[in-house]
Chain A
């Protein structure tokens, strides 16, 4: 009986060591994967959202290092804008602003238009069915 207990304990210790090794391997892999993902995410934002960087550095106090950073960030933002890479941000914002400006009258008109279109579709379908019967 005691042997069995010792065996189980030894197994548990071995299992724990094994699971610790597995956990360490999983951690190493996850950290590597996430580090790459975070760096790539930062690059995506640097390219497509360079305006935020320019806004951030414009808030810096005046100083020799800060001035260099501001110049580079501004130049980078202009480069991205010239390449059209900041345009998607502007397009999304313009769409959102349009949605924000929508009023209830526009919603009502949209509902009426959709209802009319549905009714027209149904009428055409009925017409097609009648013609087929005729």
Chain B
């Protein structure tokens, strides 16, 4: 069951009505939401419900054990055991085939071919997301950011709450669990923000992402060796917009649905293509993952506390592992390593520039404003193209496809097959919204939150009708479901 479908619409309507009807009984409401979330997950594949529950159980028991243990060594040991258990489950389902294939290729390369225990392992949807939430729950208890939940129900709802279950955002226990201890409330602000986010998410996904995928990106990536350089260039711009609209569209709907059920999730995207540096980009792109990696990987590795060289190493390792998290393929490994290396290089260059021309000597004034503006524009263009270059590897199904793609930039004389005014217009519209005021959504929500029910229906029902009428036929799955 994916968000932009009739099935989900019916499901949500039922969940909304019942969950608010039983709001006077908080435990019953949570139990109902857990039941609804498990039903939502079972719609994909009921066989993995046990895995979801096992992950929850590991977190719950480890959380209680960490809270009760007094010796520091024992607490660390429990956190370690819990993290290893979570990662073992994730590793088996996500990387078993990848490592075995890579290992077999390595053995073959050195002339030691062996029969290895190959088997088809199905990737449970959302496993990367609920595993990360499970790990952060136990670590946060260890760090004292959150207290261990006594009841299994709260942890179960935290791990499995359906809006974020299959593709995030990665919700932190410290943000979500306190909300379960307060009476559920649907404020006017939540109502307005929820409806605006659901509509904007549907428009991003169903109109922009789906059209760009079918009309531009998929054909260009199908055989990059056969299309012109212009197709390849606009194709990768198109993919940058497609993946943004696809994933941020999903996040918008998830945050909106949670808001209408009375829960607040933090933002997951903040106009990432207006970033003027890679560091800024990662503060705006998939924020829940980048902050997760920062807090549970970069900081434990030492962060920027161990000198310059160690900081570069930690940056690189964090992004490298972030790349692997995205998928079991060498193209994702390269994507992560590239971002890590570029982040380290950017940090180094910034340091050198600061030495050469310290910013505090800048006197300000008209010339400085022009200079800063030009620097920002150049920074945005440079960062966008670096990100686009890395997207080639993220989207390509193999290194060979990626290298064909890059080699194709020499074919500037060939006529374009896929760059239509429609595709270019979609890219332009999406890029325009990267530079609108960041609080535009809030302003729209303010306009919505006081509307009477019939007008809300015209806006919401009419909005969905327009989106469905404009969008291409059929429903494409969200890109991040595969992670």
Which residues from chain A sit less than 8 Å from chain B, CB to CB? 20, 23-24, 26-27, 30-45, 48-49, 52-53, 56, 88-89, 92-93, 96, 99-100, 102-104, 106-107
Contacts and interface: CB of A to CB of B under 8 A. Distances in A.
Interface of A is mostly: helix
Interface size class of B (residues with CB under 8 A): 35 or more
Interface stretch (B38-46, B77-85, B363-371, B452-460): B452-460
Instruction: Identify which of B185, B215, B465 gathers the most chain A CB atoms within 10 Å of its CB.
Output: B465
24 contacts: A20-B183, A27-B20, A30-B190, A30-B191, A32-B453, A34-B191, A35-B17, A35-B20, A36-B454, A36-B457, A37-B456, A38-B13, A39-B13, A43-B461, A44-B457, A44-B462, A44-B465, A45-B9, A49-B469, A53-B6, A92-B469, A92-B470, A100-B211, A100-B422
Given A37-B453, A44-B462, A89-B465, A31 B13 contact: no
Given A37-B457, A100-B215, A42 B465 contact: no
B186 A31 contact: yes
B187 A26 contact: yes
Interface string B444-483: 0000000011101110111011101110000000000000
Nearest to B184: A27
A102 B461 contact: no
B465 A27 contact: no
Interface of B is mostly: helix
Nearest to B462: A44
A107 B422 CA distance: 11
B260 interface: yes
A74 B16 CA distance: 28
Contacts of B185: 23-24, 26-27
Pairs A-B, 5 closest by C-beta atoms: A41-B461, A40-B457, A44-B461, A37-B456, A36-B453
Contacts of B7: 56
A45 B10 CA distance: 12
A36 to B, nearest CB: 4
Given A41-B460, A44-B461, A96 B470 contact: yes
Contacts of B462: 44
Given A30-B186, A35-B17, A42 B461 contact: yes
B183 A40 contact: no
B464 A45 contact: yes
B283 interface: no
B187 A100 contact: no
Instruction: Identify which of B17, B20, B215, B457 gathers the most chain A CB atoms within 10 Å of its CB.
Output: B457
B457 A24 contact: no
A100 B462 CA distance: 23
B420 interface: yes
Contacts of B16: 34-35, 38
B313 interface: no
A102 B470 CA distance: 16
A91 to B, nearest CB: 9
A52 B453 contact: no
Given A27-B187, A42-B9, A89-B469, 19 more contacts: A27-B23, A31-B20, A31-B23, A33-B452, A34-B456, A37-B453, A37-B456, A38-B13, A38-B457, A38-B460, A41-B464, A44-B458, A52-B468, A56-B5, A56-B6, A88-B469, A93-B470, A100-B420, A104-B421
B188 interface: yes
A92 B467 CA distance: 10
A30 B470 CA distance: 30
Nearest to A40: B457
A20 B452 CA distance: 23
Nearest to B469: A92
A45 B461 CA distance: 6
Contacts of B211: 100
Contacts of A27: 20, 23, 184-187, 262
Given A33-B452, A35-B17, A104-B421, A48 B465 contact: yes
